[in-house]
Amino acid sequence: MASTHRARILAMIPAFALVGAAAASAPADEGSYDAVTCYVGQISLLNTVEGHVAGSYDNIGTPMRSEGQLGYGSSLRCTGAFVVSAGQNDNRGACVVADPDGDRFFLVYSGGGGAPGKWRATGGTGKYNTIQAEGTYEQVARPKVPAVQGRTQFCNREIGRWKLR
């Protein structure tokens, strides 16, 4: 029963959307995308009561973007927390996105309830100093059994727009 409950909990953890930063060739000054980012991470669960669970996670991700798009060649780290209680699902967190040049930006996200989540960039360094970016995300893939127990693996479809100047 514990493994079934754990599997159900892992399936409930909402996916969070993230975009990456630029590669050696900088992204365009503005644009849009519809792409995928895949994540893997560690989950820490609070002791649960049937139908009620909370936890936190620390994930790393790899954006799959085309050259010239925000996120091409980048990596990201996201931390967040989730609560599933009485049929309600809430997920919130933040990510730091780093590009190959060392420039970074920060974004926040929230979601839950089966609808696509939302994210927005809130600041950055270097070429991302003036970033304006936002979009939506939703989970599109998750293995039924993770490769390593206690970890999560999933991919999100992310749709977004950005402007750097």
pLDDT (0 to 100) of residue 51: 84
Quote the DSSP letter at residue 127: G
The CATH class that applies to domain 2-163 reads: mainly beta
Query: The whole model's pTM is what?
Result: 0.80
Whole-angstrom Cα distance, residue 18 to residue 159? 9
Range 122-125, long-range pairs (CB < 8 A, 24+ positions): none
pLDDT (0 to 100) of residue 16: 41
pLDDT (0 to 100) of residue 145: 87
pLDDT (0 to 100) of residue 149: 84
Going by C-alpha positions, the residue among 136, 132, 141, 139 that lies closest to residue 160 is 136
Helix-strand-coil percent breakdown of the chain, rounded to 5?
Answer: 10, 55, 35
Q: pLDDT-based confidence at 47, cuts 50/70/90? A: confident
Q: Where are the domains of the chain?
A: 2-163
Residue type, 155: C
How many angstroms from the chain centroid is the CA of residue 165? 24
Quote the DSSP letter at residue 102: S
Residue 26 has pLDDT above 80, yes or no: no
pLDDT over 70, % of the chain: 84
Beta strands in 16-103 (DSSP E): 30-45, 52-64, 75-85, 88-98
CB distance 86 to 71 below 8 Å: no
Mean local confidence (pLDDT), 103-110? 97
Give how far Cα 47 sits from Cα of 1, 84, 101, 148, 162, Å.
14, 13, 42, 21, 40
pLDDT (0 to 100) of residue 25: 58
Mean local confidence (pLDDT), 36-45? 94
pLDDT over 90, % of the chain: 60
pLDDT (0 to 100) of residue 2: 45
Residue 143 has pLDDT above 70, yes or no: yes
